[in-house]
Amino acid sequence: MDSHHSYGYTLLELLIVIAIFAIGAAIAIPNISQIGQRNKIKLETRQLKEQLAKARATAIETNGRVVVIFDTKGYDIVRETVSKNCTLDAGENCIHITMSDATITANSLPKNSDGKHILQWDERGYPRDSTNSVINTGTLTINGNNLTFKITISPAGNIYISNN
- Taking the model in full, what pTM does it have? 0.75
Q: Is residue 127 in a domain?
A: yes
Q: Is residue 6 in a domain?
A: no
Domain count, the chain: 1
Residue 16: its pLDDT value, please?
93
* Rounded CA separation 152/106 (Å): 10
Length of the chain: 164
Domain with residue 123: its CATH number is 3.55.40.10
Residue 55: its pLDDT value, please?
93
Q: Is residue 18 in a domain?
A: yes
Q: Is residue 5 in a domain?
A: no
Q: Nearest-5° angle of CA 115, CA 117, CA 120?
A: 120
AA letter at 34:
Q
DSSP 137: -
CB atoms within 10 A of CB 155: 13
Q: Is residue 4 in a domain?
A: no
Q: Residue 18 — φ and ψ, nearest 5°? A: -65, -40
Q: Is residue 3 in a domain?
A: no
Residue 82: its pLDDT value, please?
53
* Rounded CA separation 44/24 (Å): 31
Q: Is residue 107 in a domain?
A: yes
| Domain boundaries, position 114 | 11-163
pLDDT in tens, the chain (164 residues): 556 666 788 888 899 999 999 988 888 777 776 777 778 888 899 999 999 999 999 999 999 889 999 988 889 898 876 566 566 666 677 888 888 888 899 878 888 888 889 899 999 999 988 788 888 888 999 998 888 999 999 999 999 999 87
